[in-house]
Amino acid sequence: MLKPLLLAAGVAVALVSPTFADALTYRGSIGDLPVVVEFATAPDTAQGVPFGRHFYESKGVDIPLFSLGADGNLFLLEEKAPCTPEACATDDDGTIIVARPGGAWQLEILNGGRRLAGSWAGPDASETLPVALELIGSRLFSVAADGTPESLAQFAVDTVWLDEPITHASSPYDFL
C-alpha cells in the first residue's frame, strides 16, 4: 500500500516541478553597437529555438526576442518594437495585446554554440547589420511551458527583493 502512494506522490511532484536549463548570455555586436543577449535555453535547434532578450550597452533596456523557427544550424528570431497605444493593437481597456514587429534576426550556431553569427534586419528590411556574439556565461533558469522573454528578468527582480547581490556568476546578463 505504501509503495503505490509513494509512486503517486513522486509522479505528482514530477508533474509540477519546473524544468531547469542553462540560460546563456552572449556579448557582441549588432553592426558597431555593443549588445548583450540572453537565451532561455541553448540555441541548439535540436532542442527547439529559444526565446530571449537583449539590450544595447549604451541604452540598457531589455528588448524581447521571440522564436520564429529553425533550419539546420540557423535559427530565426523577432524582436518587438516599442509600443504605445497608438502604435500597437489594444483591447477596450487600452492594454496592448499585439506588439508590432521590430528587427528580425538570423543566427548561425558556431563552435558548438560558443559563438553565434548572422544578421539583423530592421522592421522594413531597409537596413541589415551583421551580428556577432560570443558566449560569456550561463545561469540556471526554470523553463516554464508558457515562458516568455519577460520571465528571464524575474530572477533579477526576485534577487533585489531578497536583498541579494547580482553577480556575474549568479546572472551574467543582469550583472552587465
Please report, for the domain that includes residue 139, its CATH number: 2.40.160.90
Q: What is the pLDDT of residue 46?
A: 53
pLDDT at position 123, please?
84
Residue 13 lies in a domain: no
The answer to whether the CB of 143 falls within 8 A of the CB of 22 is no
Measured CA to CA, the distance from residue 18 to residue 143 in angstroms comes to 7
Indicate whether 74 belongs to any domain: yes
Does pTM top 0.85 for this prediction? no
| pLDDT for the residue numbered 169 | 59
- The Cα 58–Cα 153 span in angstroms is 19
Q: Is residue 7, in this structure, part of any structural domain at all? A: no
Structural domain total, the chain: 1
pLDDT on residue 24: 86
Using DSSP's 3-state secondary structure scheme, residue 159 falls into: helix
Residue 3, domain member (yes or no): no
Task: Judge residue 49's burial from the number of C-beta atoms within 10 Å of its C-beta, 0-12 exposed, 13-18 middle, 19 or more buried.
Answer: buried
Query: What is the pLDDT at residue 139?
Result: 80
According to the model, what pLDDT value does residue 115 have? 95
User: Is 45 part of any domain?
Assistant: yes
Q: The cell 523557427 sits on which residue?
A: 69
Domain limits for position 51: 18-175
Q: Is residue 11 part of a domain?
A: no
Return the beta strands (E) in 16-93 as ranges: 19-30, 33-39, 52-56, 63-71, 74-80, 89-90
Q: What is the mean pLDDT of each run of 10 residues along the chain (176 residues)?
A: 41 41 88 92 62 86 84 86 71 71 90 94 89 90 60 58 58 57
For residue 107, what pLDDT is reported?
93
Phi and psi based region of residue 169 (left: phi greater than 0; alpha: psi -120 to 50; beta: remaining): alpha
